[in-house]
Structure formats: structure tokens, C-alpha cells
Amino acid sequence: MYISHISLRNLRCFRHTDCTFRHPDAGDSVGEGSNNVNLIVGGNGAGKTTLLKAIALAVLTPILRDCGYVSHRMVREGMGLARIKGSLMLHEAEADTPFLSWPTSLEIKRLKGKTARETLDTKTGENYLAAYREDNHPSFFLAGYGATRRIETGEYNLGAIRRKRWLRYHRVVTLFEDNEALTPLESWLPQYRSTKRFDEILTLINNLLPDGTTLLDEDQGGDFLFKHNGITLPLSTLSDGYRAYIAWTTDLVAHMAACAPDGMPLATMRGVVLVDEVDLHLHPAWQLQIVTHLSKTLPNLQFIFTSHSPIVAGTFHNPPLVIEAEEDGAMAVHERGETIHGFNVEQILHSPYFGLRTTRAPSKERELVELLRDAQAGDLNAARRYMARANETTSLQEPQS
């Protein structure tokens, strides 16, 4: 299952917006490993996370009233009703007719009075409800990761989680609830040691990790060990960037392993994966590789990312989706169609996707503006100083020969 289209009405910052997503079956790839990845960009507060939440709600619509989800302040201020309509592309595992486009529809109503409470009205039929109600059914696979993602450091109790919410919703819960944690390795990986899946799981996790880091089939006091740049270390001693990335990728593999039927290679599994701020804590060198790496390692998954990183944006062959304000102040998703693949950071930040007028520090920019003004008025000394200052900022960017 993939999501091909979504339509939003009166959902938080969005008054009325629609957007289309690329997926492995769309056949619109313009570069190697580009047809299963989507990027959403926009300023802080533009609505990137809200759009990811809307996608999750569109996919989970048939079970939303029962799965443990509680709607809170999703309806746009001043409005009484929000609507989310999605179009899901189904496959053999979900439908008798492959590549069937299946619509989902959700209404969120604000209760009257001074309250943030909201009710849900699902307008979607029950054609596939049996598969949805089975938490580990391979159909309609969806996982989502919020910007506050972290690994559980206390006791992880799957039974308690199941009593609180369905696992289908739990797989996206960090998008909606900041205090929720992801599945720790030690809570699920040991149970596969005596199965045929274990070597495959270990290989897939290591394929997802960057060069120089490997998950070992060893543990220390219950903590799995990693070999990082030749040194064996527990996960807790790795940097924030490594821990954040390992947290969501190993959680994803855990859910894939739980849902994949016997005989299905994990790397061929289909579904939708949402990641807020995919560049979280990552060094620029890693940002240059992460999207292509994920896309190639899991080519049948549809990834939808958000990011503030121009480096990440420049690795996408297809143009990003950009969220911008309309004349009435409401936000809308725009598909500009202008590619920035291969542009340098300066070019990308000046592009319509980021819209920066300058990338210099404000004090330096003011100094240059004043020098330029004086130079244009005939001050030769100001002209020389302006050229010297301008050259200072460009000489550092000269490529090494």
C-alpha cells in the first residue's frame, strides 16, 4: 500500500490544500532511487508535521475510532469541521485487483463549548477492515517517526502498549505524542535468534547503518553492541546522531519483521514510512547520503520526509513539496516543479524552497550594504573595502584543486 494523494480542509494551519506523492509504482522516476522518496520543506510552524499527521490519519482512517488515537486541536481555529481525504494505492496483499486506488475519508468535528475535544467520523467503507484489525497483517503497513523520537530506556512492556492502543497506531504514535518512545533492540531482537529471520534482520540493520558502524550479535548486560570505527560500544555511548538514527531505523525493522509473512524478504516489503526532520542530529556528510541510502536499501517502501536541511534537499532528484502561506494567511502545499538536485547549499538557500535573501550573518550583511552604498556615492576607499570583504566570504568556498 502507498498513498498517492491527500486533500485537507480546515486542518490546523491548512484551509484548503491538496498534494500528490511519489511512490514506487508511480513510474515517474527522474533519477536513480528517486521514485520512492518525497520531501516536504517549509519554515518553522508552516505545517510540515501536521501534513505528516494527516497522512497517518488518512491511512489509519478505518480504525481511528478504536485504535487509541485521541484527536486534539486538529480543527482549524474558528472552524467546526476538518476533513482529510486520502487516496491509497493497494496491491495484491490488500485487494483482489492489484493497483486499485482506494479512497479514505475522515471528518474531525470540534465539540461545542470551551473545549479542545474533537470527535471522529470515518466515511470509509469496511472493505478491508479485517486486515486493518490484525495488528501484524502485512497489508496497509505504516510507520511514522516524530522529531522527539527516542529509544525506551526503562522497562518496555508490549502487553501494556497493546492494552493502551493498537499496534497500528503505536507505529506512528511519536508523531502525535511527544512522551512516547521507540522499541529498544533488546526487547525484540533476541526472540529472533533461533529463527531463520535473525541473519536477515542483522544484515538489513547493518545495511541501513552508515559505513564504519556495525551491529554485532553480542550484548553486554542486555545491551546490544556496535562496532563503531573499530571500537566495540553499547548503543548508549554513541552520539545523539547515531542514537536518533538507530532508534527509528531499528524500530522500523522490528515492525517489518513482525508483519512480514514467512518467505517474504524484509527488503521487499511495501508500505509507507513518515519521518519528521530526517536530518535530526546528523553531520552534513551524512545528510548528503541518508536519503539515497534509505531509498536504495528499502526500495519498495514509500518514504515521506520533512527537513530544514538544504543539503538533504539537494540530494532529491524530484522537486520538494513546499508549504507556503497564501494571501489569507492559511498555509498550502505547492508543487513548484523546479528541481534543485545537485545545487550547492548557497543556491538552494536562495531558491524558492528556502527563500533566503542572504546567508551572511546580519552584522556582516549590514556592513557590506553600508560599504556598497558609500562606494556607489564615489568613496574609493569604501569600494576597496567592499571588494575585500566580499572576497573574504567567497574565498573559503573555492574548490580544492
**399/365 Cα distance (integer angstroms):** 24
**What is the overall mean pLDDT for the chain?**
88
Q: Which CATH superfamily includes the segment(s) 2-182+270-359?
A: P-loop containing nucleotide triphosphate hydrolases (3.40.50.300)
pLDDT of residue 401: 41
Beta pairing partners, 168: none
> Do 275 and 311 contact (CB within 8 A), yes or no?
no
Taking 90 as the threshold, does the pLDDT of residue 273 lie above it?
Answer: yes
> Do 122 and 105 contact (CB within 8 A), yes or no?
yes
Give the start-to-end residue ranges of the domains of the chain.
Answer: 2-182+270-359, 364-395
Provide the 10 A C-beta neighbour count for residue 138: 20
* pLDDT tens track for 319-362: 999 999 998 889 999 998 889 998 988 889 989 999 887 777 77
pLDDT of residue 42: 95
pLDDT of residue 29: 55
Predicted model pTM: 0.90
Share of the chain above pLDDT 90, in %: 59
pLDDT of residue 368: 72
* pLDDT tens track for 192-212: 999 999 999 999 999 999 999
Angle, alpha carbons 163-165-171 (nearest 5°): 130
Q: What is the CA radius of gyration of the chain?
A: 24
Q: Which long-range contacts (CB under 8 A, 24 or more apart) does 151-156 make?
A: 151/181, 151/182, 151/183, 151/184, 151/185, 151/235, 151/243, 151/246, 151/247, 151/251, 152/181, 152/182, 152/183, 152/184, 152/187, 153/181, 153/184, 156/181, 156/183, 156/184, 156/187
pLDDT of residue 398: 44
Q: How confident is the model at residue 396 (pLDDT cuts 50, 70, 90)?
A: very low
Q: What is the mean pLDDT of residues 179-199?
A: 91
* pLDDT tens track for 55-109: 999 999 999 999 999 999 999 998 999 999 999 999 876 766 666 888 999 999 9
> Do 323 and 331 contact (CB within 8 A), yes or no?
yes
Q: How far is CA 303 from CA 35, 42, 353, 360, in A?
A: 10, 18, 20, 33
* pLDDT tens track for 30-61: 555 578 999 999 999 999 999 999 999 999 99
